[in-house]
A and B are shown apart, each in its own frame.
Chain A
Amino acid sequence: MQITVKLFATFRNGRFKLDRQEFRTGTDCRTIVLGLGLKEEEIGVVLVNGRHAALDQVMLDDDTLSLFPLVGGG
Chain B
Amino acid sequence: MSTTTPPAVGGLTSQELLAGYRTMRVIREFEERLHREFATGEIPGFVHLYAGEEAIAAGVISHLNDDDYVASTHRGHGHALAKGCDVDGMMAEIYGRYDGICHGKGGSMHIADLSKGMLGANGIVGAGPPLVCGVGLTARIRKTAQVGVSFTGDGGSNQGMFLESLNLAAVWNLPVVFVVENNGYAEATSNEFHSSGLDVAKRADGFGIPGVVVDGHDFFAVHEAAGEAIGRARRGDGPTLLECKTNRYYGHFEGDQQTYRAPGEVEELRATRDCLDGFRAAVTEGGLIAAAELDAIDAEALAQIESSVARAKAAAVPDLSEVLTDVYVDY
Do A and B originate from a single complex?
Answer: no
User: What is B's interface to A at a CB cutoff of 8 Å?
Assistant: none
